[in-house]
Amino acid sequence: MTTAVPYPPDAPPRRRLLTLRTALRSPVFLVGAAVLGFWVLCALVGERFAPYDWSATDPLQKNLSPSWDHLFGTDRLGRDVFSRVIVGARDVLTIAPAATLLGTVAGTAIGLLTGYLRGWVGQVLDRLNDSFLALPFLLVALAFVAARGPSSTTVVLAIAVGFTPIIARTVRAAVLVEREKDYVVAARLRGERAPYVLVAEILPNVLGPILVEFTVRLGYAIFAVSTLSFLGAGVQPPSPDWGLAVAENRGFFQLYWWPVLFPCLAIASLVVAINLVADALREATA
């Protein structure tokens, strides 16, 4: 015996960190992170760098096709589409992370409880979860928005409510595996109470799947925010949000394609970027 065995023995933390680091160096991750970083930057300081004021209308300059003056053209109110696309990252990149975080926290709490507690509490929560999962997520969100009326807060809550059972299921599955392991049994035999075992022992060991689920859900949250805005059930005018911009200009798509196509490209690049990051993380922790 020369060195102490690191604890927990079945998951040496140093190796885990190393695989994570190599995965984060993969080109797929880097491309995704670069595009994501660009949009985050746009959301934070885009307003200062946009060539025009995103909200300024100009009746003499409406429906101009793309040119050097207006890279992406102008919309039906004469607003610069390029500036609106830049600033349009702001709403979606505020709402989606907030909703995902809320759903992850709530889902983790429920997942920990249903995975660890046997007996009727776990069973009742499980049944409720199943019936939620039986509905397509977008419909749950739409019903919620229908009941409360569209606003940014409603969208955050709607998406969080929709995500909670999905994340709870992932966390529950991970907890079911962990609870049988020696370190949990040891803690229980030591006489630790359930809250301590859950938070101090099990939670740190299921953070990996939670992180992966978070990034995957974040991609879907952006999908959902744009879709709700597109359906008129999300962010409201005059926000330059991409989904909303598409909805507002869609009627004239055949004549003026630029105020529709550029926000579409922005949405596509953002969701694909986040999915690349999520995929790299999933492979690193797998």
Tokens of 113: 């409880």
Q: Does 82 bind another protein (CB under 8 A)?
A: no
Which of 86, 274, 277, 284 touches another protein (CB under 8 A)? 274
Does residue 268 interact with another protein by CB under 8 A? yes
Q: Tell me if 175 sits within 8 A of 162, measured CB to CB.
A: no
**Strand-pair partners of 4:** none
| 169: its two tokens | 């299921």
Closest CA to 271 of 26, 39, 98: 39
Note whether 263 and 253 are within 8 A (CB): no
Exactly one of 31, 40, 109, 261 binds another protein (CB under 8 A); that residue is 261
- Distance in angstroms (rounded) separating the CA atoms of residues 33 and 30: 5
Amino acid at site 23: A
Contacting another protein (CB under 8 A), which of 43, 46, 279, 284? 279
- Whole-number minimum distance, CB 53 to another protein, in Å? 26
One residue of 6, 12, 136, 237 binding another protein per CB under 8 A: 136
Question: Which of residues 116 and 223 has its CB atom nearest to another protein in the complex?
Answer: 223
CB of 252 to another protein, least distance (A): 12
Task: Answer whether 101's CB lies under 8 Å from 156's CB.
Answer: no
From residue 115, alpha-carbon distances to 103, 174, 215 in Å are 17, 8, 22
Contact residue for another protein among 29, 54, 144, 163 (CB under 8 A): 144
- Rounded to the nearest whole angstrom, what is the least distance from the CB of residue 107 to another protein in the complex? 17
Q: Any contact of residue 267 with another protein (CB under 8 A)?
A: yes
Among residues 157, 173, 193, the alpha carbon closest in space to that of 149 is found at 157
Nearest CA to 237 out of 44, 88, 100 is that of 88
Using CB under 8 A, pick the residue from 24, 77, 143, 187 that binds another protein.
143
Binding letters toward another protein, positions 113-132, x by CB under 8 A? --------------xx-xxx
- Judged by CB, which is closer to another protein: 29, or 230? 230
Write out the two tokens for 135. 């509905």
Q: Which residues bind another protein (CB under 8 A)?
A: 127-128, 130-132, 134-140, 142-148, 219, 223, 226-227, 230-233, 243, 246, 250, 253-254, 257, 260-261, 264, 267-268, 271-272, 274-275, 279
